[in-house]
């Protein structure tokens, strides 16, 4: 029996020896094969400083920082508590092996065979090898390569150099590559000043830097820090007292990079894309600094106007769509019947969207409720913040209103809440989207741009996404008519018209007979617009619109709905077109990058845009610098002036009259737009200093509700923005050019009138078209009755 046992042991030893010899042979062969392919120490020993792309407003307020930061440190700067935390967690035999820990590899392989986690087999040196190369290989090939590379690294570098290189190259989350950057990003201090608790927290990030860090998951990070401290205690690297003190330490991490002063993520993404096209991956590491054209105050006003406008003017008006989920108290309660810990863990997974913070209802009273925020704070929501929540049934039906808090919330409900000036209110994330873009008519610089409700939720930039503009396109139709010889006093028949299967209608479903072009544009009459388009001709209208930058080569030539804005255009194209009307007829190009510089090369780009220069070409002018590029004139200044006047009428008496009522300025012009459904809502308006377009609609077009018009949502958002954008700015309008004459006309028929006649106005004409005698006119209708009504006549096609 004993002989059999000895024989078995002999065979086992032989098999083990053969297996070990086989492993050695495989590793040796792999090393000999891979050695020529492995990087040399010179290629990885020196870690370079990396500085992210930083984007600023025109007044040098940070918009965003894109890319990772790396600030290499020396071994002498790394505190012992940090190296101890790393070694205790990742590689307790770091100082005793030669780069590969055979015991750990066997343990890891044995665990893999058994299907249990017995810890990984990678040493710190092998993790460094993985970091430096082989990232794209599959797990087995990568591991095979890591072993010989780790052995090579350990031959070429000292243990201290390995640790230093490791700490300088590992990603710690929050845009921090290396411990030097991480210490600053999380704690705002040099690495040498990290405490035991902070060092343990840093090491706890390594497996999952994005999801485990104390900024995104503070509760989870405490547990992970405790494990690292326990590892150090187990290895006698710290005492029990030190463990207890560090374990009790509060979370002190705060983001110290990317201290965004002005949120403009859609602008930042436009900048990033433009730089990446030219510089590739260097965009994120070479310390580029971009100064944009964005006005910081106007951008903040635009963010607020669009975000709150979508919530208030549209989303809340259509009712409350209900809660997202429910987390029953009895399931989440702990041994003390307190569910807050479980609820907080759920809340950490729910992001803030726009103004809307996630919360879980913790108590419901008759006319109020309490809710737990992800910060751990419990808030009180009074009836004033609940009463708006009529039940959403459809876009056209929100009923009934709540009678008690229990009608909209129960304990455990996952809801959204919004902070207001007076407290908190029940909220919801809007499913509607929108865009706002504002630019200078003088040189095309974009002053503010918001491409959607929340960039984190959707990166689609709706400022550059084509959608039908509806009546927002009509000024270019009427401008083409003026260029073709019509005047604002010319009459067009507002009467039924049928062309095949197409029969356009007005918003009010009525007809007024012959009306002036001024009146037709002011009240956005559709049928006269279609007649005018047909009379002027598609070729002339589209050629005129093309001067403003519209891609009319893609527009159909035989579709009368073009007159009503049926063809897709970008909000950026629309605002550029309105800017050309505002500046007197000059084509300026929209732009948003003023200056680009880098750490290595200094200034590498300086914007030199087209500029409106009315005196350029005048031999007596001394106002045009040599490097100024004058914007080309695209339409007669007199046509632009008359269009300004007609769009002023829209704001005074037409569909944009809310602008005049609320802002009370005499220098504002504009036009609303509403498409069929309605599916898109628009308002574009301007004075001589600033032109702004607002667009509202679902990303997948669908009806917004039968009561909606450009005047109901887009106009008030535009007002909220322009109220701030124009603050402390004097009134400014286009100067009256030479060659304009006024005539007293009958406001109904457009015919010349004499002083003392009723229903007259002074109208502007180009000198060559100014009437000098009364010509026979078609019979008109009495429009005085219409003037007293607050019509909101929008484009429906």
Whether 589 is catalytic is no
Neighbours of 159 (CB within 10 A): 15
- Report the sign of the C-alpha dihedral through residues 205, 210, 216, 220, in that order: negative
Which tokens hold the place of 671? 């036009």
Is the pLDDT reported for residue 788 higher than 60?
no
Of the residues 50, 90, 445, 573, only one is catalytic, namely: 90
Is the pLDDT reported for residue 134 higher than 80?
no
Nearest alpha-carbon partner for 449 in 571, 618, 544, 545: 571
pLDDT at 143: 62
CA 360/CA 329 separation, integer angstroms? 10
User: CB pairs under 8 A, 24+ apart, for 241-247?
Assistant: 242/196, 245/196, 245/197, 246/195, 246/196, 246/197, 246/200, 247/197
pLDDT for 585-641, tens place per residue? 999 999 999 999 999 999 999 999 999 998 886 655 555 567 899 999 999 999 999
Is the pLDDT reported for residue 123 higher than 50?
yes
Q: Which residues contact 373 (CB under 8 A, 6 or more apart)?
A: 347, 357, 358, 359, 379, 417
Band of pLDDT at residue 216, cut at 50, 70 and 90: confident
Instruction: Return the higher-pLDDT residue of 394 and 140.
Output: 394
Is the pLDDT reported for residue 34 higher than 80?
no
Band of pLDDT at residue 565, cut at 50, 70 and 90: very high
| 565 neighbors 545 (Cβ within 8 angstroms) | no
Nearest alpha-carbon partner for 362 in 403, 325, 407, 327: 327
Of the residues 217, 438, 442, 471, only one is catalytic, namely: 471
Is the pLDDT reported for residue 694 higher than 70?
yes
Detail the DSSP E strand segments found in 126-186.
Answer: none
Least confident range from 285-299, 384-398, 661-675, 778-792: namely: 778-792
Helix (H) or strand (E) holding 513: strand 513-516
CA 248/CA 223 separation, integer angstroms? 11
Q: What is the pTM of this model?
A: 0.86
Is the pLDDT reported for residue 384 higher than 70?
yes
CA 26/CA 144 separation, integer angstroms? 10
pLDDT at 792: 33
Least confident range from 134-148, 364-378, 437-451: namely: 134-148
| 667 neighbors 688 (Cβ within 8 angstroms) | yes
pLDDT at 790: 32
pLDDT at 781: 47
HEC profile of 733-770: CCCCCCCEEEEEEECCCCCECCCCCCCEEEEEEEHHHC
| 592 neighbors 292 (Cβ within 8 angstroms) | yes
The rounded Cα 349 to chain-centroid distance in angstroms is 21
pLDDT at 24: 62
Neighbours of 20 (CB within 10 A): 11
Average pLDDT, the chain: 90
pLDDT for 139-180, tens place per residue? 555 666 677 788 888 888 999 999 999 999 999 998 899 999
pLDDT at 155: 87
What's the Cα-to-Cα distance from 697 to each of 305, 474, 683, rounded to whole Å? 16, 19, 12
pLDDT for 462-521, tens place per residue? 999 999 999 999 999 999 999 999 999 999 999 999 999 999 999 999 999 999 999 999
pLDDT at 780: 45
pLDDT for 728-754, tens place per residue? 999 999 999 999 999 999 999 999 999
Is the pLDDT reported for residue 669 higher than 80?
yes
pLDDT at 796: 29
| 303 neighbors 260 (Cβ within 8 angstroms) | no
Whether 90 is catalytic is yes
Q: Which of 111-120, 151-160, 216-225, 440-449 has the highest mean pLDDT?
A: 440-449
Q: List the 289-292 sheet strands across, edge first.
A: 62-66, 53-56, 289-292, 593-598, 602-606
Band of pLDDT at residue 6, cut at 50, 70 and 90: low
Strand partners, 54: 65, 289
Is the pLDDT reported for residue 657 higher than 70?
yes
pLDDT at 12: 60
Least confident range from 251-255, 307-311, 705-709: namely: 251-255
> What's the average model confidence in pLDDT over 762-790?
64
Percent of the chain residues past pLDDT 90, beyond the cut: 76
pLDDT at 777: 47
Which tokens hold the place of 211? 């999801």
pLDDT at 46: 74
pLDDT at 116: 56
Q: Which residues contact 649 (CB under 8 A, 6 or more apart)?
A: 518, 521, 522
pLDDT at 121: 67
CA 569/CA 679 separation, integer angstroms? 14
The rounded Cα 368 to chain-centroid distance in angstroms is 34
pLDDT at 586: 98
HEC profile of 345-403: HHHCCCCCECCEEEEEEEEECCCCEEEEECCCCEEEECHHHCCCCCEEEECCEECCCCC
Least confident range from 344-353, 429-438, 518-527: namely: 344-353
Band of pLDDT at residue 15, cut at 50, 70 and 90: low
pLDDT for 351-374, tens place per residue? 999 999 999 999 999 999 999 999
């Amino acid at each position: 029996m004993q002989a059999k046992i000895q024989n078995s042991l002999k065979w086992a030893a032989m098999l083990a020896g053969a297996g070990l010899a086989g492993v050695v042979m495989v590793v040796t062969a792999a090393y000999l094969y891979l050695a020529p392919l492995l990087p040399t120490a010179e290629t990885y020993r020196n870690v370079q400083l990396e500085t992210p792309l930083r984007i600023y407003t025109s007044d040098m307020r940070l918009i965003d920082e894109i890319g990772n930061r790396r600030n290499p440190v020396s071994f002498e700067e790394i505190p012992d508590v940090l190296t101890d935390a790393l070694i205790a967690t990742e590689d307790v035999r770091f100082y005793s092996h030669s780069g590969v820990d055979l015991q750990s590899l066997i343990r890891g392989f044995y665990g893999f065979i058994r299907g249990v986690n017995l810890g990984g087999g990678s040493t710190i040196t092998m993790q460094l090898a993985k970091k430096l190369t082989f990232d794209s290989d599959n797990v087995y090939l990568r591991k095979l390569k890591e072993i010989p590379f780790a052995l090579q690294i350990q031959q070429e570098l000292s243990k201290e150099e390995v640790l230093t290189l490791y700490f300088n190259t590992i990603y710690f989350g929050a845009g921090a590559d290396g411990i030097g950057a991480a210490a600053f990003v999380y704690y705002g201090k040099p690495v040498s000043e990290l405490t035991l608790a902070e060092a343990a927290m840093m090491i706890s990030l390594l497996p999952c830097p994005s999801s485990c860090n104390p900024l995104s998951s503070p509760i989870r990070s405490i547990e992970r820090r405790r494990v690292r401290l326990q590892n150090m205690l187990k290895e006698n690297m710290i005492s029990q007292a030190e463990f207890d003190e560090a374990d009790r330490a509060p979370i002190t991490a705060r983001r110290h990079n990317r201290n965004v002063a002005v949120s403009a993520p859609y602008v930042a993404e436009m900048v990033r894309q433009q730089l990446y096209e030219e510089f590739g991956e260097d965009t994120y590491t070479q310390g580029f600094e971009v100064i944009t054209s964005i006005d910081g105050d106007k951008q903040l006003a635009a963010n607020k106007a669009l975000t709150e406008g979508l919530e208030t003017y549209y989303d809340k008006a259509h009712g409350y769509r209900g809660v997202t989920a429910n987390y029953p108290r009895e399931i989440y309660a702990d041994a003390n019947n307190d569910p807050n810990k479980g609820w907080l863990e759920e809340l950490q997974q729910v992001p803030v969207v726009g103004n809307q913070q996630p919360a879980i209802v913790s108590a419901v009273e008759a006319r109020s409720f309490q809710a737990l925020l992800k910060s751990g704070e419990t808030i009180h929501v009074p009836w004033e913040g609940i009463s708006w929540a009529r039940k959403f049934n459809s876009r056209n039906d929100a009923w009934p209103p709540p009678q008690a808090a229990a009608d909209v919330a129960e304990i455990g409900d996952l809801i959204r809440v919004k902070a207001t000036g007076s407290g908190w209110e029940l909220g919801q994330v809007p499913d509607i989207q929108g865009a706002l873009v504002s630019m200078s008519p003088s040189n095309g610089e974009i002053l503010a741009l918001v491409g959607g409700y929340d960039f984190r939720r959707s990166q689609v930039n709706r400022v550059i996404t084509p959608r039908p503009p509806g009546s927002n396109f009509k000024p270019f139709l009427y401008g083409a008519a003026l260029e073709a010889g019509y005047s604002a006093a010319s009459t067009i028949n507002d009467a039924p018209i049928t062309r095949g299967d197409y029969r356009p209608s007005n918003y009010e479903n009525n007809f007024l007979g012959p009306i002036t072009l001024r009146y037709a544009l002011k009240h956005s009459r559709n049928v006269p617009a279609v007649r005018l388009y047909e009379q002027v001709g598609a070729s002339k209208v589209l050629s005129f619109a093309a001067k403003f930058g519209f891609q009319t080569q893609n527009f159909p030539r035989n579709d009368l709905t073009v007159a009503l804005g049926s063809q897709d255009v970008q909000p950026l194209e629309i605002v550029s077109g309105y800017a050309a009307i505002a500046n007197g007829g000059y084509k300026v190009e929209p732009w948003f990058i003023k200056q680009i510089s880098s750490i290595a090369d200094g200034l590498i780009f300086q914007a030199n845009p087209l500029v409106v220069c009315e005196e350029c070409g005048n031999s007596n002018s001394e106002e045009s610098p040599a490097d100024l590029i004058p914007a080309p004139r695209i339409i007669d200044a007199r046509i632009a002036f008359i269009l300004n006047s007609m769009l002023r009428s829209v704001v005074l008496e037409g569909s944009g009259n809310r602008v005049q009522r609320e802002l009370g300025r005499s220098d504002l012009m504009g036009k609303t737009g509403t498409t069929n459904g309605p599916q898109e809502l628009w308002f574009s308006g301007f004075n001589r200093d600033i032109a702004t377009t607002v667009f509202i609609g679902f990303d997948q077009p669908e009806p917004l509700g039968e009561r909606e018009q450009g005047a109901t949502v887009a106009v008030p958002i535009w007002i909220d923005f322009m109220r701030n954008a124009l603050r402390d700015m004097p009134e400014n309008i286009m100067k009256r050019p030479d060659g304009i004459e006024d005539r007293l006309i009958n406001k109904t028929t457009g015919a010349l009138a004499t002083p003392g006649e009723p229903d007259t106005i002074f109208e502007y004409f180009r000198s060559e078209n100014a009437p000098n005698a009364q010509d026979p006119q078609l019979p008109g209708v009495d429009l005085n009755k219409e003037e007293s009504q607050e019509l909101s006549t929008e484009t429906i096609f």
